[in-house]
Amino acid sequence: MDGVTTHRAFIALGSNVGERIEMIEQACLEMERASIKVKRTSSLFETAPMYVLDQDPFMNGVCEVETSLSPMELLNTLQSIEKELGRKKLIDKGPRSIDLDILLYDQEVFEHERLSIPHKLMLERDFVLRPLCQLIPHERSPLQGKNLTYLSYLNSLPPPESKPIATTHISPSFPPLHSNDPKRSTHIMAILNLTPDSFSDGGVHSPNDYTALTTTVRRFIDSGATIIDIGGESTRPGSAPVTEAEELARVIPAIRHIRTAIPEADHIAISIDTYRARVAEEACAAGADIINDVSAGLLDPDMLAVMARTGKTVILMHMRGNPSNMTKLTEYPDGVVPGVAAELLERVRAAEAAGVRRWRIILDPGLGFAKSQPHDLALLRDLPALRTEYPGLDYFPWLMGPSRKRFIGRITGVDKASDRVFGTAAAVTASVVGGADIVRVHDVHEMWQAARVADAIYRV
């Protein structure tokens, strides 16, 4: 904003009526339309109600915004947005379709009969401090005598009786992911490669044979798949790229067919496996729910903007280089887990800067992509650390894709990729133990069995 003084503010987001996540997302869009730039968001947490207990659970989060508005102008704009979105305040701290509260405004202390900054109750509320600490854990309140960091205040609170559950939205017809719920089930993502040259199933699925496509999709669903990942270009090591037109011709008709001609797939999420922005955008328009980019936006400069514009959930995978040269980029001086963590965090920040909401991001460490066999094994072994011990990577869902990978063949001596079922089952089990939310697999029925047993043992 040239010549205009801008301010940094933090807004608490809350809803416990109707489609809560959609309402929060709409509020963010309305703030943008009002020239309140949403810079970053926290995760969204489902939390038990506080104060007025006889009401439904809330969805709560925090966003950092940039604005030229004064505190009172900002308050008036936010209350106008609440009203436009249908909020009716019948009971103080009671049910509401949308709640937008100013927590902080620069480092100012501001008092008015309608507004107190910092927010008077924020330091006693887990459901405010937890998401705020994802954004500014080490900053301090501007109030005199409040010299602890926000993270210190959060850690000093008694644990909430009901654990806040991180929530990642996929679609209205698909259950949200709850990455910190110890009892969650692992989702099975079935691989549908419409390519002639994928490393283990190239040529198996034709993009033009709709009868066979219908049979395959129904078999995936009957076998336990909840997500189908559709790809029109191989990303195996050394693969040659296809044209954008060819990739579109392979995947778009297939997505449309699944969405319009296979009723059983109504509650199945469709993921588009592509690094091209135009393919992702057209796939979403055709009915895809998830953008799965092996490069996390690095191979197409328009991809992150498309991810933000579509508002879809995205999978950011760790990779270096491209499929033709990634096998030469396997040096991790500080170790593969810290290296992958640092590089994935860079991609998360880039996605956030482009406007992708944190509650729409899934992470993938990229087994086999710019990794050696010891690297793949270390990532499987140390997934719990990757999920919880690196600031900035907390509360994300994780996808693991070990299916039929080269490291399994080297360990077992099984050369033919399609014969690596038992080795894959071991890697899938390790993924569940490590906390994966989704496993991406070729052998759907077998891996569904492996995951269900692993869930029964470990997800308790």
Q: Could you report the per-residue pLDDT of 338-359, keeping only the tens digit for each? A: 999 999 999 999 999 999 999 9
Per-residue pLDDT, averaged over 191-203, amounts to 66
Separation of alpha carbons 362 and 292, rounded Å: 9
Which percentage of the chain shows pLDDT scores above 70? 93
Per-residue pLDDT, averaged over 140-146, amounts to 90
Residue 257 has pLDDT above 90, yes or no: yes
Give the model's pLDDT for residue 89.
Answer: 58
CATH number of the domain within which 22 lies: 3.30.70.560
Give the model's pLDDT for residue 202.
Answer: 47
Separation of alpha carbons 196 and 217, rounded Å: 18
Q: Within a domain: residue 231?
A: yes
What H or E segment, with its residue span, contains residue 303?
Answer: helix 303-310
Residue 43 has pLDDT above 60, yes or no: yes
Q: Within a domain: residue 118?
A: yes
Helix %, strand %, coil % of the chain (to 5): 40, 20, 40
Q: Which of 20, 405, 406, 420 is catalytic?
A: 405
Per-residue pLDDT, averaged over 400-429, amounts to 97
Q: Within a domain: residue 2?
A: no
Instruction: Judge if 121 and 185 occupy the same domain.
Output: no
Instruction: Judge if 146 and 184 occupy the same domain.
Output: no
Instruction: Judge if 157 and 241 occupy the same domain.
Output: no
67 DSSP β-pair partners: 7
Per-residue pLDDT, averaged over 203-214, amounts to 76
- What's the pLDDT tens digit per position in 385-395? 999 999 999 99
Cα 125 to the center of its chain, rounded Å? 25
Q: Within a domain: residue 260?
A: yes
Separation of alpha carbons 400 and 295, rounded Å: 15
CB 456 within 8 A of CB 433: no
Residue 208 has pLDDT above 80, yes or no: no
- What's the pLDDT tens digit per position in 215-226? 999 999 999 999
Mean pLDDT is highest, among 61-75, 192-206, 240-254, for 61-75
Give 76: exposed, middle or buried? Use CB within 10 Å, 0-12, 13-18, 19+.
middle
Average model confidence (pLDDT) across the chain? 93
Q: Within a domain: residue 248?
A: yes
Q: Within a domain: residue 343?
A: yes
Give the model's pLDDT for residue 93.
Answer: 57
Q: Of the candidates 11, 24, 235, which has an alpha carbon nearest to the alpha carbon of residue 104? A: 11
- CA dist list (Å): 436 to 181, 386, 394, 408: 12, 11, 13, 18
Last residue of a domain, one of 163, 192, 219: 163
405 is catalytic: yes
- CA dist list (Å): 231 to 115, 130, 193, 323: 51, 37, 5, 15
Give the chain's length. 460
Q: Of the candidates 234, 230, 231, 440, which has an alpha carbon nearest to the alpha carbon of residue 324? A: 234
Instruction: Judge if 156 and 248 occupy the same domain.
Output: no
How would residue 198 be classed by pLDDT, with cut points 50, 70 and 90? very low
Contacts of 426 (CB under 8 A, 6+ apart): none
Instruction: Judge if 155 and 211 occupy the same domain.
Output: no
Q: Within a domain: residue 359?
A: yes
Number of folded domains in the chain?
2
What H or E segment, with its residue span, contains residue 7?
Answer: strand 7-15
Residue 155 has pLDDT above 90, yes or no: yes
Q: Of the candidates 119, 114, 111, which has an alpha carbon nearest to the alpha carbon of residue 9? A: 119
Residue 279 has pLDDT above 60, yes or no: yes
Per-residue pLDDT, averaged over 281-293, amounts to 98
Last residue of a domain, one of 146, 163, 180: 163
Q: What are the φ/ψ torsions at residue 361 (nearest 5 degrees)? A: -110, 135
> Which pTM value belongs to this model?
0.93
Last residue of a domain, one of 136, 163, 190: 163
Contacts of 345 (CB under 8 A, 6+ apart): 390, 392, 393
Q: Which two three-digit tokens encode residue 117?
A: 């900054």
Instruction: Judge if 276 and 189 occupy the same domain.
Output: yes
Instruction: Judge if 78 and 175 occupy the same domain.
Output: no
Q: Of the candidates 179, 186, 204, 258, which has an alpha carbon nearest to the alpha carbon of residue 404? A: 204
Per-residue pLDDT, averaged over 439-445, amounts to 98
* Rg of the chain, C-alpha, whole Å: 23
Instruction: Judge if 108 and 239 occupy the same domain.
Output: no
- What's the pLDDT tens digit per position in 294-326? 999 999 999 999 999 999 999 999 999 988 899
Instruction: Judge if 187 and 134 occupy the same domain.
Output: no
* Residue 351 lies in domain: 171-458
- Under DSSP, is residue 101 helix (H, G, I), strand (E, B) or coil? strand
Instruction: Judge if 147 and 186 occupy the same domain.
Output: no
Instruction: Judge if 54 and 185 occupy the same domain.
Output: no
Instruction: Judge if 12 and 73 occupy the same domain.
Output: yes
- CA dist list (Å): 264 to 169, 214, 217, 250, 268: 21, 10, 9, 22, 8
Separation of alpha carbons 456 and 285, rounded Å: 37
Q: Within a domain: residue 280?
A: yes
